[in-house]
Amino acid sequence: MRSLMKSRKKMSRTTIARILDAFHDSSRVLITSHKEPDGDSICSQLVVREYLESLGKECVLFNHGDIPARYRFVTGVENIHTDISAYDFNPDLVVVLESTSLDRTGDVASVIGDGVRIINIDHHEGNTLYGDVNLVDDRASSVGEMIYKILSEDGFVFKGTTAENIYIAILTDTGRFHFSSTTPDAMRIAADLIESGVDTRRVTDQVYFSMSEPQLRTIGEVIQSAEVHLDGRLCALTLTRALLDKRGMSFSDFEGIVDYSLQINGVEVGVLFKDISDDVTKASIRSRSNLDVAEIARKFGGGGHPNAAGVTLEAPLDEAKRLIIQAVKETLDRND
Ligand SMILES: [Mn+2]
């Protein structure tokens, strides 16, 4: 515990105290995160809700975009609303997690009234500090890790669902303790959570080894169509609406399949392209070296972490592929 205490200094104690004050002073809290939420954002939101409800606060959770299939087992996930047209809440505090800018919350941004206090908690580089209180730590493995540290300062004890949900946040944001975000702090917190009873085998099975047969077969087709470019340094995967329609599935059934783009030895950059519509393509970009793919994503209005970024391009699939592959080529050429 000693080294965990020491490393907590990375996040300002004053800022943590201000966040805890805001939590205690609130009565109605909207908790949100980025569009197309992932394991870290979903689980962190649920933990903040449990904590605030334990203080007697009223909480509403809203996200823009479906809960990915692999997180539908998470305890409490049914409390996250996604139909913004049904939004009817008047919060006195808004907690925004995992969002570099307020726009990243998508439609939720449009229902946040002027003058409502905003708490911004994030671990992405380039956060625009749009909150009344901003806690941004780009060295944190996950927002889940940050929430663990913040709420621990208030004496909150993680057990049962809250322990499991922080564990899932760290597990998924570190790629199963694989990415360089797998820090000593992340491991220490994970160890504390396992000590408090998290069943790591069950949780990992549920997130990563619980797909349906059509999901597995669709992934097979995506892998089959992998394209290798730039002398074997870039691997591009494509998930199309046509393929999803054929199997009656949706993009949210395939969160995480970009990871397959980095499976080939020698590939430095992996990209998953999704044709969201005829004129809009989403690219998830990954790297395994110190090549900064967030910089590539930012070139087109996206963002993320150095090894994991994303961008939505107003371009058809083929055009988007050309643009991203060219940008990766330029970055590789510059680094050579
Ligand atoms: Mn995260």
Domain ranges of the chain: 2-207, 213-335
CA of 246 to the centre of ligand 1 (A): 32
Cβ–Cβ under 8 Å, residues 194 and 109: no
Could you tell me whether strands 303-305 and 308-313 are parallel, antiparallel, or unpaired per DSSP bridges?
A: antiparallel
Q: Give the number of other CB atoms < 10 A from CB of residue 159.
A: 12
Tokens representing 143 are 């927002």
Query: Has this prediction a pTM greater than 0.75?
Result: yes
Q: What is the pLDDT of residues 275-317, one digit of tens each?
A: 999 999 999 999 987 899 999 999 999 988 899 999 999 999 9
Write down the residue that tokens 């020698």 correspond to.
266
Sign of torsion, CA 128 133 139 143? negative
Residues 6+ apart with CB under 8 A from 78: none
Query: For residue 175, is pLDDT > 70?
Result: yes
CA of 42 to the centre of ligand 1 (A): 10
Distance 99 CA to ligand 1 centre (A): 9
Q: How far is the CA of 170 from the centre of ligand 1 (A)?
A: 8
Question: What is the rounded average pLDDT of the residues 152-163?
Answer: 98
Type of residue found at 69: A
Rounded CA-CA distance 190/200 in Å is 10
Write out the two tokens for 200. Answer: 């790591």
Q: Which residue has the tokens 């009565």?
A: 27
Specify the residue for token string 């409800």.
Answer: 53
CA of 81 to the centre of ligand 1 (A): 20
Q: What is the pLDDT of residue 9?
A: 43
| Secondary structure element (H or E) that encloses residue 28, with its range | strand 28-33
Tens-digit pLDDT profile for residues 81-111:
999 999 999 999 999 999 999 999 999 999 9
* End-to-end CA, the chain: 42
pLDDT over threshold 60, residue 6: no
Pairing of strands 308-313, 281-287: antiparallel
Rounded to the nearest angstrom, the distance between the alpha carbon of 115 and the centre of ligand 1 is 27
Ligand 1 centroid, distance to 267 Cα (angstroms): 24
CATH 3.10.310.30 fits 213-335, yes or no: yes
Q: 276 near 312, Cβ under 8 Å?
A: yes
Cα–ligand 1 centroid distance for 145 (angstroms): 9
Given this model, what pLDDT does residue 218 score?
Answer: 96
The beta-strand segments (E) located in 123-229 are 133-136, 227-229
Distance from the CA of 103 to the center of ligand 1, in angstroms? 16
Ligand 1 center to residue 173 CA distance, Å?
A: 6
Alpha carbon of 10 to ligand 1 centroid (Å): 17
pLDDT tens string 241-269: 999 999 999 999 998 899 999 999 999 99
- Per CATH, 2-207 and 213-335 having the same topology is answered no
Q: How far is the CA of 262 from the centre of ligand 1 (A)?
A: 20
Cα 16 to middle of ligand 1, angstroms: 19
> 85 C-alpha to center of ligand 1: Å?
27
Q: What is the pLDDT of residue 336?
A: 84
**How far is Cα 305 from Cα 125, in angstroms, rounded to an integer?**
7
Write the DSSP string, 284-320: EEEESSS--HHHHHHHTT-EEETTEEEEEESS-HHHH
pLDDT of 20 over the 90 cut: yes
The distance of Cα 21 from the centroid of its chain, to the nearest Å, equals 26
Give residue 231 CA to ligand 1 midpoint distance, Å: 32
Output the CA 123–ligand 1 centroid distance in Å: 7
Within 10 A of 319 (CB to CB), how many other CB atoms are there? Answer: 13
Cα 40 to averaged position of ligand 1 atoms, centre (Å):
5
Rounded to 10 deg, the angle between the 161-173 and 184-195 helix axes is 150
Tokens 């395994």 correspond to what residue? 288
CATH number for the domain whose boundaries are 2-207? 3.90.1640.10
